[in-house]
Amino acid sequence: MTRPSHVVVDLDSLRSNYRLARRIHGGRSLAVIKGDAYGHGALACANALAPEADGFAVAFLDEARALREGGIANPILVLEGAFNDAELAIANALDLWLVVHHDEQIDMLARGRIAPRRLNVWLKIDSGMHRAGFDCADAGRAYERLLSTGKVRSITLMTHFARADTLRSTMTAEQIERFDAATRHLPGDRSLCNSAGLLWWPKARRDWARAGLMLYGIPPEGNELPQLQPAMTFNSRVVAVRSLRPGEPIGYNATYVAQRSMRVGLVCVGYADGYPQTAPSGTPIAVDGRRTSLVGRVSMDMLSVDLTDLPDAGLGSEVELWGRTIRVAEVAAACGRIPYELVCHVRRAPVTYRGLEATTENKSLARIDLQYSAG
């Protein structure tokens, strides 16, 4: 048998989650597929969504270029904007939409060789996250400067939430108020919501959503959303079974010691496949559809799973690291990480696509090849 570990991405789930995002938010939604679609394969996901997506969002130019080269014709917003004049020229040639979040990017537009009234720009206003974007007090000035370049066709006003995934904080309500006050007199579409914003903050729903995490069937922290379908399943099989006597340790550093007689299954998935090395004993894993747990430390290529209470499980049993039985958010919570990071880090294990339009069999074909070349 070949190494039985693999990742399955269900493109029907992706599409269904996208439709849900758009239905809840109303209006239009970008499908955020930066970071190789959060580890799901950007081009495969883009192809699956292209017939209906209002547009895509990626982090930087080369992610957008790979989509264009893969035949994606939908609008693509570049969330970090252009880093230099050469990138701006390429973005213009590829008909990309650009976020502008600091003054130097407006200078680039002003001096760039770009046809009049050509670019669709998203002007990013910092409403309280204090990471990227113009201060609220500068919103009007930045807007005027952008217009005065003569290069823009449209300006969409955007902001980003720092903690929309919790309803316990007043921060999101304050961000919405600040953004609205800062942009009150400025014309143009608005875009405030990431996944958590569009799900939990109805007041933030405007012309455009920017749905990322929920596309992949992962609900933002702390809330369940039964309609969401996990897009990624990380599977393997038990390839060996052993018994432990009470007092016997297992794995590197002997971090786990059997307290009773145990049956333990060996699974060929490790941190080189993207399974988190910090996952402690007790992290949930499903075997033959039943919940059990990790025992001992995660190695580079292997981990062990407790079969003691699953007498029917054994050699060849199906293992789900995460998917429909074990949600990736549970695994992330068990190891003090966020689900974004876990799905982004999946690698080495082959990826197959499922779903009506799964045109690409293997992620090595679908995976975008990043070559940071411009400038």
Active site residues: 34, 252
Using the contact rule CB under 6 A, the part of the chain among 87-95, 104-112, 188-196, 342-350 near ligand PLP is: 188-196
* Minimum CB distance to ligand PLP, residue 333 (Å): 16
Using the contact rule CB under 6 A, the part of the chain among 206-214, 291-299, 345-353, 357-365 near ligand PLP is: 206-214
Residue 312's φ and ψ, nearest 5 degrees, are -85, -10
Using the contact rule CB under 6 A, the part of the chain among 178-186, 204-212, 304-312, 315-323 near ligand PLP is: 204-212
* Minimum CB distance to ligand PLP, residue 266 (Å): 35
CB neighbours (10 Å) of residue 289? 11
Among 32, 64, 176, 250, binds ligand PLP (CB under 6 A): 32
Please return the burial class of 131, using the count of CB atoms within 10 Å of its CB with bins 0-12, 13-18 and 19+: exposed
Q: What is the largest CA-CA distance in the chain?
A: 77
Q: Are 220 and 196 in contact (CB under 8 A)?
A: yes
- Is residue 213 a contact point for ligand PLP (CB under 6 A)? yes
Closest chain position to ligand PLP (CB): 212
- Is residue 172 a contact point for ligand PLP (CB under 6 A)? no
* Minimum CB distance to ligand PLP, residue 35 (Å): 8
- Is residue 212 a contact point for ligand PLP (CB under 6 A)? yes
Q: Are 56 and 67 in contact (CB under 8 A)?
A: yes
CB neighbours (10 Å) of residue 174? 12
Among 88, 114, 211, 310, binds ligand PLP (CB under 6 A): 211
Nearer to ligand PLP (CB atom), residue 172 or residue 195 = 195
Least Cα distance to 205 among 194, 216, 219 occurs for: 194
Give the footprint of ligand PLP on residues 242-301 (CB under 6 A): none
Residue 276's φ and ψ, nearest 5 degrees, are -65, 125
* Minimum CB distance to ligand PLP, residue 272 (Å): 25
Nearer to ligand PLP (CB atom), residue 17 or residue 304 = 17
CA–centroid distance for 161 within its chain: 16
Among 58, 76, 79, 121, binds ligand PLP (CB under 6 A): 79
Least Cα distance to 67 among 135, 111, 59 occurs for: 59
Using the contact rule CB under 6 A, the part of the chain among 3-11, 102-110, 207-215, 330-338 near ligand PLP is: 207-215
* Minimum CB distance to ligand PLP, residue 146 (Å): 18
Nearer to ligand PLP (CB atom), residue 92 or residue 191 = 191
Please return the burial class of 279, using the count of CB atoms within 10 Å of its CB with bins 0-12, 13-18 and 19+: buried
Give the footprint of ligand PLP on residues 319-348 (CB under 6 A): none
Among 194, 233, 236, 281, binds ligand PLP (CB under 6 A): 194
- Is residue 25 a contact point for ligand PLP (CB under 6 A)? no
Residue 177's φ and ψ, nearest 5 degrees, are -60, -45
Q: What share of the chain is helix, strand, coil (3-state, %, to 5)?
A: 30, 25, 45
Q: Are 64 and 81 in contact (CB under 8 A)?
A: no
3-state secondary structure 319-345: EEEECCCCCHHHHHHHCCCCHHHHHHC
Among 195, 235, 283, 360, binds ligand PLP (CB under 6 A): 195
- Is residue 231 a contact point for ligand PLP (CB under 6 A)? no
Residue 288's φ and ψ, nearest 5 degrees, are 50, 40
Nearer to ligand PLP (CB atom), residue 212 or residue 217 = 212
Q: Using CB under 6 A as the criterion, which residues of the chain lie in contact with ligand PLP when the complex forms?
A: 32, 34, 79, 160, 194-196, 210-213
